[in-house]
Structure 1
């Protein structure tokens, strides 16, 4: 390829990204080729691949991210992308079009968390990340704490009220409108129960411990931000990292990926065991985790995406996935009950999800967003569907400035290698399972750390 052609293609790539190619001079970076992918630019250089990203955040916020990565690396958690300083020694570049930072490109493939071995590896990696993140003394640049997820739970309840008002004004109701109206009361019961149970937990003491220990959360611990290279898993995209309690990340991991296995308790307890082999979970933390899992995050986000038009699905698809999500909520509630029974927690399990027998297969699609690559060196283009005839609802919710963003969940169309019939049958079996006490012993995880130094036996209250 001629030099002029290379320069022209490089310029076109940066133009499509909305960036100035002159940014590269800040690092004296000779680039052979560049590709704009999922919010970043992948740069091919003679020294290896690099990632260039533009962010529209404050200087203080970006410094917080950069110092978080340095803290993790210095504490032995090296599988993160550190900022590459400019030739002037600056961690990032300030430009009229935004702030830019450069890192190495983390090798490997996007984690396939349909595979339990990768799910267990994700739990182990998360615990190691939380251990390394403790004691972070940075962040003196502004408020970076996001810890009270109960504040956002209340906002979801207020949103349902707004949706109700909209339905009253709508002349012709859709299938999704009807399905939502039919099960709205159960959703409100789930929200109220989760909030009540969280208020009964030692949540305040748990948060105070996190403040004292200066622990860090990733904030977007999803498969797109987990890169697997052989047996090594790296974490990328720290744009949402913040001071907070590790239970937030662990709860989000379970909420995201346990539905893919129909909230199977054996897999769930194995995930917890793998995590605990690296970082113990106290009884107080386990109680908060059970309350966290009592909240119907996925179902409420699906309702939100319908009424506020953040997804380009057909109405029939919304209605089908809403019913399937409610069916999975029944499995989630059963899992919470089993957590309470197994660990001897003093709290009430949720039991509000409806019994649905005709949900069909779950047509899952992406909810997660990330700058991480699909890691097949080919990028999926965003699909633009036609807008719905009716516009989004302008939801008016009193803003008390919640300090946390509820974890967003991915719904993948190829979620499971099982047939739709098998998935449906498993879900229905899970629904029908009585919420009785668990009698069998701890389930051994398929992947277990052998050099963690942490507890490996059954967890008992008070440990």
Structure 2
């Protein structure tokens, strides 16, 4: 098939079609209710972000910049007060999959490199090479030590820190040369080097919308201390990207598309990244796991509120999982994946609001490349669509913004549209919540999240039907 290039007129017709039934009074009232809650929402992390943070086993994020965990904006153009822009903000915890993200150990972190002793004659005689430590350095060392980091890591950089602040596993280090985010990670030195090479490749091909890694005195992108690995990135001031803003969602789609194209042909001898092209296997595994969870819920003698809600959704969840697996096995999908794997780009694979910073110049900066690997770009596109659609109550405008801005970089092919449909059809949010809870990580928010998923089901199903019809029309 030839790639499908949509015109603005075609997409606008689809938006009117998809929104035809959504514009009735109940939906208008729903939007008004959501807008009335923005004040409260701005003070708290989003439900999905909280859920994701709670289910994350680690907090190792390459390229973390400051991004406020509570930014909210449903208007097409995000706004912020002067105070908002001046306040540094930090991206939320990485969403590394539980099975791939062992918890980062933060324990004693090399007790040999604790706060240096106060200088004195005895100390100087015992260690004449040690430099006197001033009060500023002591305060910085205290922050680093309290975070469980080895204080000697700072000495590996050329920095002269004037202050430091611990925030969500990151040390914000302020220096005359600029601000940096220092992280302790469970990534290997080879993996960090892989990301450094990836950034160099992307920059060479015109993509610079990321937080670059800082190099040590020896020119390395990481520092090792015993079993721990550390890295630092440039600190990006700004706000966490807002997936409720159609304008920002469009910007994110465009940045992702540019990143995907700029990284095609990238290779690195530092680390062998595992490709993620077997989407049939991925969806089948998730489908089978969902079936096992539902069977376990049905066997419970004393089900709680989560269990009963899950069982109410069970028929629809099974149907969606089956449909998703059937769609991804279509000839068009298999043909595209086979062709794309010959010269793949790099996917981010952790598309959440906290991993995109809306900076002071109103640009979107991509951060946190922990999970980045060779994969079909539809994985990032589908993740962005699903999360933004959830926050915008499955409004077709979010999909229109994603597709339109993404398509300006490289035309979305028919096979990619089919894959996006398959990925959106899978009941990811319900599966993720149930999977986390049935693995023993129980939390009260999970009941509310599952009921929120249940309340959105009619609009989700209506959107998916409209999307499938539109893709069929465009491909005919």
TM-score by length of 1: 0.69
Preserved CA contact (<8 Å) 2:324 2:422: yes
Preserved CA contact (<8 Å) 1:226 1:234: yes
Match 2:393 to one of 262, 272, 282: 262
Preserved CA contact (<8 Å) 1:113 1:223: yes
CA distance in 1, matches of 2:351, 2:295: 35
SS in 1 for 2:231: strand
CA distance in 1, matches of 2:279, 2:146: 37
1:234 to 2:365 alignment = yes
CA distance in 1, matches of 2:416, 2:270: 27
Aligned counterpart, 2:99: none
SS in 2 for 1:302: helix
1:177 to 2:307 alignment = yes
1:93 to 2:214 alignment = no
Preserved CA contact (<8 Å) 1:127 1:275: yes
Match 1:135 to one of 252, 265, 269: 265
SS in 1 for 2:303: coil
Match 1:334 to one of 462, 465, 468: 462
CA distance in 2, matches of 1:269, 1:3: 57
Structure 2 residues not aligned, in runs of 5+: 1-131
Residues 155-191 of structure 1: CA distance to partner in whole angstroms, max 9, x if unpaired?
Answer: 3333344435544664422122222223222211111
SS in 1 for 2:274: coil
Aligned counterpart, 2:383: 252
Matches within 5 A, 1:22-171: 22-138=152-268, 141-164=271-294, 166-167=296-297, 170-171=300-301
Q: Which moved more, 1:246-255 or 1:54-63?
A: 54-63
SS in 2 for 1:269: helix
SS in 1 for 2:163: strand
Residues 382-403 of structure 1: CA distance to partner in whole angstroms, max 9, x if unpaired?
Answer: xxxxxxxxxxxxxxxxxxxxxx
CA distance in 2, matches of 1:148, 1:98: 32
Aligned counterpart, 2:147: 17
SS in 2 for 1:76: coil
Aligned counterpart, 2:415: 284
CA RMSD, Structure 1 to Structure 2 (Å): 2.3
Aligned counterpart, 2:120: none
Q: Per the alignment, do residues 147 and 35 of structure 1 end up closer, same or farther by CA in structure 2, a change over 3 Å counting?
A: farther
1:461 to 2:440 alignment = no
Q: Per the alignment, do residues 119 and 139 of structure 1 end up closer, same or farther by CA in structure 2, a change over 3 Å counting?
A: farther
Q: Per the alignment, do residues 168 and 266 of structure 1 end up closer, same or farther by CA in structure 2, a change over 3 Å counting?
A: closer
1:295 to 2:426 alignment = yes
Q: CA deviation at 1:218?
A: 0.6
CA distance in 2, matches of 1:140, 1:97: 19
Q: Which moved more, 1:6-15 or 1:155-164?
A: 155-164
Residues 298-324 of structure 1: CA distance to partner in whole angstroms, max 9, x if unpaired?
Answer: 1211222332343521xxx54443233
Structure 1 residues not aligned, in runs of 5+: 346-459
Residues 219-263 of structure 1: CA distance to partner in whole angstroms, max 9, x if unpaired?
Answer: 112210111123311111111111111111000000111111221
Preserved CA contact (<8 Å) 1:32 1:45: yes
SS in 1 for 2:183: strand
Aligned counterpart, 1:206: 336
Preserved CA contact (<8 Å) 2:328 2:334: no
Preserved CA contact (<8 Å) 1:137 1:214: no
Aligned counterpart, 1:425: none
Q: Which moved more, 1:176-185 or 1:229-238?
A: 176-185
SS in 2 for 1:278: coil
Aligned counterpart, 1:441: none
1:325 to 2:453 alignment = yes
Q: CA deviation at 1:125?
A: 1.4
Preserved CA contact (<8 Å) 2:181 2:235: yes
Q: Per the alignment, do residues 201 and 254 of structure 1 end up closer, same or farther by CA in structure 2, a change over 3 Å counting?
A: farther
CA distance in 1, matches of 2:325, 2:170: 38
TM-score by length of 2: 0.67
Residues 371-420 of structure 1: CA distance to partner in whole angstroms, max 9, x if unpaired?
Answer: xxxxxxxxxxxxxxxxxxxxxxxxxxxxxxxxxxxxxxxxxxxxxxxxxx
SS in 2 for 1:9: helix
Preserved CA contact (<8 Å) 2:162 2:175: yes
SS in 1 for 2:181: strand
Q: CA deviation at 1:329?
A: 3.4
CA distance in 1, matches of 2:226, 2:183: 14
CA distance in 2, matches of 1:144, 1:63: 15
SS in 1 for 2:229: strand
SS in 2 for 1:102: strand
Q: Per the alignment, do residues 225 and 167 of structure 1 end up closer, same or farther by CA in structure 2, a change over 3 Å counting?
A: closer
Q: CA deviation at 1:330?
A: 3.3
Q: Which moved more, 1:152-161 or 1:96-105?
A: 152-161
Q: CA deviation at 1:5?
A: 3.8
